[in-house]
Chains A and B, each alone.
Chain A
Amino acid sequence: MRLFKTILAIAVLGVLFNLLNNNQGSIPPLGKFLNPFAGFWQNGERQDQLEEVLDVKGLRAAVKVVWDERQVPHIFAENTYDVYFAQGFLTARHRLWQMEFQTHVAAGRVSEIIGSKAVEFDKLQRRRGLLMAAEQTINYMGGFPETQLILQAYANGVNTWIETLTPATLPLEYKLLNYEPEVWSTLKTALLLKYMAWDLTGRNSEMDLSVIRSALGEDFVNKFYPKDTPRTEPVIPSGKPWRFEPMLAEENPPAFEPQFIRDLRKAEPERDNGSNNWAVSGKKTASGFPILANDPHLGLKLPSIWYEIQLHTPDMNVYGVSLPGAPAVIIGFNENIAWGLTNAGSDVMDWFEIEFKDESYAEYLYLNEWVKSDLRKEEIVVKGGKTVQDTFAVTRFGPLVYFGDHRLDNGHPTGLAMRWSAHDPSNEMGAIRGINLAADQKTFFTALEAFAAPGQNFAFAAKDGDIAIRHNGKYPLRGQDQGKFVRAGRDTTGEWRAFIPPDQLPSISNPWSGFVSSANQNPTGKNYPYYLGWDYEDYERGSRINERLEAMNNIKMSDMQVLHMDNFNKQAQLMLPFLMSQLNQQNLSEVEVEILGDLKKWNYLSDPHEKAAWVYSQWWLHLEQAIWSDELTLFGELRELPARSVTAELLLKSKNLVYYDNINTAEKEDRRSIINIAFQNTIEVLSEELGAYGETWELGRARGTNINHLLSVKGLGRPGLPTGGGVGIVNASKKDHGPSWRMVVELGDRPTARGIYPGGQSGNPGSAYYDNAVNKWVAGQYYDIHFLSSPDVTDQPKLSMTQLRNYQ
């Protein structure tokens, strides 16, 4: 009996140990996690720790770091190596887990952390070739010693921080998921940059457009999916003459109908990734110096995607936001210039259907011969499971991303290869370093030439008075509509053979209007000689920004802040009066009459308290669905809808159109009836979702914004923020997307700047600086930026200092 009891006790103890030492599903290993000596209890943060002297191994000289009241580090170093070493060291101190997790996502290594549920994601991620591209980038860097030095200094800084960690000081998320950080490398930085490139250029409607063309014809596509959408004011004003002899692209090959049909969009980045930027010249400002503003719209998460920083060496003084995981400043300003980015939206990713000889995918048909593909073997390590082997083919048309369970009519296996500009070697890090050092327009534009992917509209303003914008990137030379549809990867048609030379890219300096701007719309008018793509943002944000900037004079920084927060809904202004005129008033219920009354009173400002703003935006979505969902549900999926402005134009101009009729009902719907049906459906759906018409229907409550933790862990995010704005609105706040960094810079003898991002400098959920800026961001407020010229902080009580001493 005694023996039995003893064995039982030891067995139970063993089971308990196992339970408490390992993750149980999404539950952290409770023994480790609750351990008050090393578990989460140790992740609290006292606020008085920053006045300190640290001995740091690997620095070349002493570095002074001034912390401001928001914990922005202002790094003063004596040489280039040390400044990026310190950036790596301090960024890791605040954001290590996020940095590493993002690179695991980029590399397709999530299964290592969360187990088998991420295997399919990892496979797809590897087949996209981000790791391949990052490896090439690092090889290519060999030719650029300064870039290599910067990346290595940053990596050394990160690793020096990692070495200081103990089980107690590990960031919270490592404890939640029960793993440890690994050594940082330059490859990880390259992976992060490739991931950003994918996030900004990876969305593609080629498959959908091919399917739509097959089903509904060439005319349908040409009419409803045009490059030049109604009302668009291009980034570079249409009147600009182009004074160069353009290269000639090949004629468009005959149409090709793919047989390998997939819905690619589910795994692609959000359409909502966009941005605004503009610069106004001194002749329109109160100070006489240019002002630049930027707000990149990205997925909003905690920890935030940006990390604010100032980097100072004898030859550089730059301030702005950096990406945790990459050195230098991505968006910001220095003593002479300021710059901001918006996504270019031009087409840098093409899909090719490839014909393979057999299931080994080792040979594919090209110019009537079987050509060997490069087979890439991948090992996916799975936490708590067996390592998964995966092999995919790399062809001259890029890696084979989608394949399996489909054969061509002739019995050969097939799949889709992805040709992407970010797969080619390029030196964006060198470009960013050049931008950080740039002193005027000439040096700025020269630096941009190395920035291949992702394509961006770079807005620029300088102390010497210049303003400019350039649609920058590495863009293939294309025939008209080349890249709009999936092509056969069987011959040279559709292959990329040349790229548009940097000096022929769309750009403009010091236009007579006194300002430049971009909001992801079509970059050029019809007279630009090259075809760059077709799938750009609609006109609304760009045209609103332009009309406001045109009307303004004597501009101050605060005017730019107001424009960032501009909630005017141009699309509603265009459509709502017409839609209301089509409603059959006599059929409306009591609540519908009340709602219509509010819509009539609405001033088109999508402010957080506006019920009408939410009702209108939903009505419009229902209407789009009513028109298109019957025709465009093809192969079981609803395909890409025409642009808002195209649908709007149809509704305004065409009373009768075959597409108004829902082909799935016996009745014959016309324009008036679908507008009425959509209105009633909207009210019905919203009533069900939000209850009786009242406060819950307000935009800020019905939609608002949720800023979730990167792992979507409940309790670590900031859900339910009452934001206004929305799609097609300058303040592009959405459900989980929005202005990820609002910055306004006025150049001058010394630049003055304000900025804010929805989060905080610390990635530690136990820090007061984790989400301290969120409420101010919601309210449209800004922080005054301290652009310091020396580390001497004795007269500024809000500042404190860390000294990093070189320790051998």
Chain B
Amino acid sequence: MISILVSLVLVFSLQLLFYSWWWIIVIPLALGFIEKDSVAKAAGGNGLGIFLLWFGMSVYQWLNGGEIIVTRVSEVMGIGSGFVLALATGIIGFLVAALAGYAGFSLRKVVIKEYQIS
């Protein structure tokens, strides 16, 4: 739960300030790296955190003056509705962040292990 919240809040703050989408890679990668024990927390926590953030923010934009643009882009992309589009946005966020979290976690294991051996 905490890992979900940490990744959500961190990425939210950074994206508000600096916009770039790839914060959903950088932060989960870092959070994954400092996660010691659980691969589920590293991958799942980050994934869910970003899913909630991107899905939630999409829905917020949609409901706050975004009805027209969401309808049009749904048509451009051949997607049935704004809800599906928001869901797709969330899922892409989930996949990227979960993978990044996993990669960070995995990297730690490799780096720390090698450090211990030497």
Given A13-B25, A715-B72, A765-B72: A2 in contact with B106 (beta carbons within 8 A): yes
Q: How far is it, in angstroms, between the C-alpha of A6 and the C-alpha of B60 when the chains are bound? A: 36
Query: Could you say which residues of chain A place their CB within 8 Å of the CB of B110?
Result: 2-3, 6
Q: How far is it, in angstroms, between the C-alpha of A21 and the C-alpha of B23 when the chains are bound? A: 12
Name the residue of chain A whose CB is nearest to the CB of B75. Answer: A715
Q: How far is it, in angstroms, between the C-alpha of A535 and the C-alpha of B118 when the chains are bound? A: 87
Given A31-B96, A46-B65, A172-B69: A21 in contact with B22 (beta carbons within 8 A): yes
Q: Is B48 an interface residue when CB atoms closer than 8 A count as contact?
A: no
Query: Could you say which residues of chain B place their CB within 8 Å of the CB of A3?
Result: 110
Query: Could you say which residues of chain A place their CB within 8 Å of the CB of B116?
Result: none
CB distance from B28 to the nearest CB of A (A): 10
> A42: which of B61, B74, B75, B109 is its contact (CB, 8 Å)?
B61
Q: How far is it, in angstroms, between the C-alpha of A334 and the C-alpha of B3 when the chains are bound? A: 65
Given A2-B110, A713-B76: A16 in contact with B96 (beta carbons within 8 A): yes
CB distance from A548 to the nearest CB of B (A): 40
Query: Could you say which residues of chain B place their CB within 8 Å of the CB of A13?
Result: 25, 29, 96, 99-100, 103
Name the residue of chain B whose CB is nearest to the CB of A12. Answer: B99
Task: Return the CB mask of B68-100 against A: 1 if under 8 Å, else 0.
Answer: 111011111100000000001100100110011
Name the residue of chain B whose CB is nearest to the CB of A42. Answer: B61
A34 touches B113 (CB 8 A): no
> B103: which of A10, A35, A41 is its contact (CB, 8 Å)?
A10
B75 touches A46 (CB 8 A): no
Query: Could you say which residues of chain A place their CB within 8 Å of the CB of B102?
Result: 9
The number of chain B residues with a CB under 8 A from chain A is: 41
B99 touches A37 (CB 8 A): no
A43 touches B103 (CB 8 A): no
> A41: which of B66, B68, B109, B113 is its contact (CB, 8 Å)?
B66
Name the residue of chain A whose CB is nearest to the CB of B110. Answer: A6
Most buried by B among A10, A41, A168: A41
Q: Is B58 an interface residue when CB atoms closer than 8 A count as contact?
A: yes
CB within 8 Å of A: which of B43-78? Answer: 54, 57-58, 60-62, 64-70, 72-77
Q: Is A167 an interface residue when CB atoms closer than 8 A count as contact?
A: yes
> A10: which of B16, B19, B107 is its contact (CB, 8 Å)?
B107
Q: How far is it, in angstroms, between the C-alpha of A41 and the C-alpha of B54 when the chains are bound? A: 10
Q: How far is it, in angstroms, between the C-alpha of A209 and the C-alpha of B110 when the chains are bound? A: 77
Query: Could you say which residues of chain B place their CB within 8 Å of the CB of A714?
Result: 75-76
Q: How far is it, in angstroms, between the C-alpha of A43 and the C-alpha of B113 when the chains are bound? A: 48
B25 touches A44 (CB 8 A): no
Q: Is A583 an interface residue when CB atoms closer than 8 A count as contact?
A: no
Given A715-B76, A716-B76: A765 in contact with B92 (beta carbons within 8 A): no
Given A40-B73, A167-B19: A9 in contact with B106 (beta carbons within 8 A): yes
Q: Is B15 an interface residue when CB atoms closer than 8 A count as contact?
A: yes
A44 touches B72 (CB 8 A): no
Query: Could you say which residues of chain A place their CB within 8 Å of the CB of B69?
Result: 40-41, 43-45, 172, 764-766
Q: Is A36 an interface residue when CB atoms closer than 8 A count as contact?
A: yes
Query: Could you say which residues of chain B place their CB within 8 Å of the CB of A410?
Result: none
CB distance from B37 to the nearest CB of A (A): 15
> B99: which of A9, A46, A166, A176 is its contact (CB, 8 Å)?
A9
Q: How far is it, in angstroms, between the C-alpha of A530 and the C-alpha of B25 when the chains are bound? A: 72
Query: Could you say which residues of chain B place their CB within 8 Å of the CB of A713?
Result: 76
Q: How far is it, in angstroms, between the C-alpha of A766 and the C-alpha of B22 when the chains are bound? A: 25
Q: Is A677 an interface residue when CB atoms closer than 8 A count as contact?
A: no
Q: How far is it, in angstroms, between the C-alpha of A618 and the C-alpha of B55 when the chains are bound? A: 52
Task: Return the CB mask of A271-295 against B: 1 if under 8 Å, else 0.
Answer: 0000000000000000000000000
Q: Is A17 an interface residue when CB atoms closer than 8 A count as contact?
A: yes
Q: How far is it, in angstroms, between the C-alpha of A768 and the C-alpha of B22 when the chains are bound? A: 31
A45 touches B54 (CB 8 A): no
> A44: which of B15, B64, B89, B92 is its contact (CB, 8 Å)?
B64
Q: Is A261 an interface residue when CB atoms closer than 8 A count as contact?
A: no
Given A6-B106, A716-B76: A166 in contact with B62 (beta carbons within 8 A): no
B68 touches A45 (CB 8 A): yes
Q: How far is it, in angstroms, between the C-alpha of A35 and the C-alpha of B103 when the chains are bound? A: 22
Task: Return the CB mask of A65-77 against B: 1 if under 8 Å, else 0.
Answer: 0000000000000
- Complex A-B: 24 CB contacts under 8 Å: A2-B110, A13-B25, A13-B29, A16-B99, A17-B22, A21-B21, A31-B22, A31-B96, A32-B21, A34-B58, A34-B92, A36-B57, A37-B19, A37-B21, A37-B57, A41-B66, A43-B66, A44-B67, A46-B64, A176-B76, A715-B74, A716-B72, A764-B69, A766-B68
Q: Which residues of A are at the interface with B, using a C-beta cutoff of 8 A?
A: 2-3, 5-6, 9-10, 12-13, 16-17, 20-21, 30-32, 34-47, 166-168, 172, 176, 713-716, 764-768, 770
Other contacts beyond A10-B103, A167-B19, A768-B68: 5, CB < 8 A: A2-B110, A20-B96, A36-B54, A41-B70, A45-B65
The 7 closest A-B pairs by CB, nearest first: A766-B69, A44-B66, A715-B75, A36-B57, A46-B65, A715-B76, A35-B21
Q: Which residues of B are at the interface with A, using a C-beta cutoff of 8 A?
A: 15-16, 19-22, 25, 29, 54, 57-58, 60-62, 64-70, 72-77, 88-89, 92, 95-96, 99-100, 102-103, 106-107, 109-110, 113
